[in-house]
């Protein structure tokens, strides 16, 4: 099985959790793309009556519009800052469900949407499981442009390799949906995800970091066509 068919299988399992009338946060990335397609197909068949959706990025908003999903903002009156469920991919999933997010540059929108959701479902193919977060994927930080060098210097003094994320078909850096820059950091040292999230977010000029801990309520991983859905106790 390719990882694409596994991503699709995990996304389809998550799409089945969405019910009529729900307020749903839509993640960003290729796995979330399969989710959006699955939800769009259900709506086109007349399902999901009364469901409304909040996108985590401009890219997701465009895709959701193509699928004619009714979009809202978290501040809209019929969302009122609260979602029933958010469903999103991840760059890495650690053994305690600590995550690396932001490979698609949408970490700020994703973490805001997670904070509004009662249930946060992470969907992935098996390649995303790691023994420790930061093992393969860089950890992204969204940084205000004026603080690029001060934040980089601080991160380097803490022992990280720091790369300003470059745009691919435009000269210069990636500019996020919120007008900020992305620094991707790596270390070969073991990471305490809880402490690192706290410490990174405390650096002046860092708007958000791509480590997510104690947030996922469900993890759905598909590997070689077999879908495993794990839930936190009490979910
Ligand atoms: C976007 C993200 C994505 O969820 C993450 O990069 C995984 O993407 P994909 O599903 O394409 O592998 O965090 O900011």
What 3-state class would DSSP assign to 161? strand
pLDDT for 50-85, tens place per residue?
Answer: 999 999 999 999 999 999 999 999 999 999 999 999
Our answer to whether residue 110 is catalytic in this structure is: yes
pLDDT for 120-141, tens place per residue?
Answer: 999 999 999 999 999 999 999 9
178 band by pLDDT with thresholds 50, 70 and 90: very high
Q: What local confidence, expressed as pLDDT, does residue 2 receive?
A: 72
Specify whether the CB–CB gap between 86 and 32 falls below 8 A. Answer: no
Q: How far is CA 122 from CA 43, 87, 167, in A?
A: 22, 6, 27
Task: Pull the structure tokens for residue 234.
Answer: 């009490």
Q: What local confidence, expressed as pLDDT, does residue 1 receive?
A: 63
Closest of 50, 17, 207 to residue 118, by C-alpha: 17
This prediction has a pTM of 0.97
Please pick, among 110, 142, 197, 208, the residue that the annotation labels catalytic: 110
Ligand 1 mean position, distance from CA 205 (Å):
24
Separation between Cα atoms, residue 23 and residue 50, nearest integer Å? 9
Domains of the chain in sequence order: 3-130+213-225 (3.40.50.1360), 139-210 (3.30.70.260)
Distance of CA 179 to the CA centre of its chain: 18
Radius of gyration of the chain measured on its C-alpha atoms: 17
Closest approach atom of ligand 1 to CA 88: 4
Specify whether the CB–CB gap between 198 and 205 falls below 8 A. Answer: no
Category of 172 on φ-ψ map: left (φ > 0), alpha (ψ -120 to 50) or beta: left
């Amino acid at each position: 099985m390719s990882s694409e068919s596994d991503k699709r299988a995990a996304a389809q399992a998550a799409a089945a959790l969405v019910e009529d009338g729900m307020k749903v946060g839509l993640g960003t990335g290729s796995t979330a793309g399969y989710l959006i397609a699955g939800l769009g197909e259900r709506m086109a068949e007349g399902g999901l009556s009364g469901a409304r959706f909040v996108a985590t990025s401009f890219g997701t908003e465009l895709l959701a519009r193509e699928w004619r999903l009714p979009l809202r903002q978290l501040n809209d009156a019929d969302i009122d800052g609260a979602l029933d469920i958010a469903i999103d991919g991840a760059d890495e999933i650690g053994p305690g469900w600590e995550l690396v997010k932001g490979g698609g540059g949408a970490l700020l929108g994703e973490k805001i949407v997670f904070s509004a959701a009662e249930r946060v479902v992470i969907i992935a193919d098996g390649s995303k499981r790691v023994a420790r977060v930061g093992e393969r994927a860089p950890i992204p930080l969204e940084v205000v442009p004026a603080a690029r060098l001060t934040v980089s210097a601080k991160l380097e003094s803490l022992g990280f390799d720091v790369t300003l994320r470059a745009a691919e078909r435009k000269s210069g850096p990636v500019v996020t949906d919120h007008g900020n820059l992305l620094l991707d950091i790596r270390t070969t040292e073991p990471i305490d995800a809880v402490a690192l999230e706290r410490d990174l977010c405390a650096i002046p000029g860092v708007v958000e970091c791509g480590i997510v801990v104690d947030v996922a309520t469900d993890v759905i991983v598909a590997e070689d066509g077999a879908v495993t859905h794990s839930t936190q106790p009490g979910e």
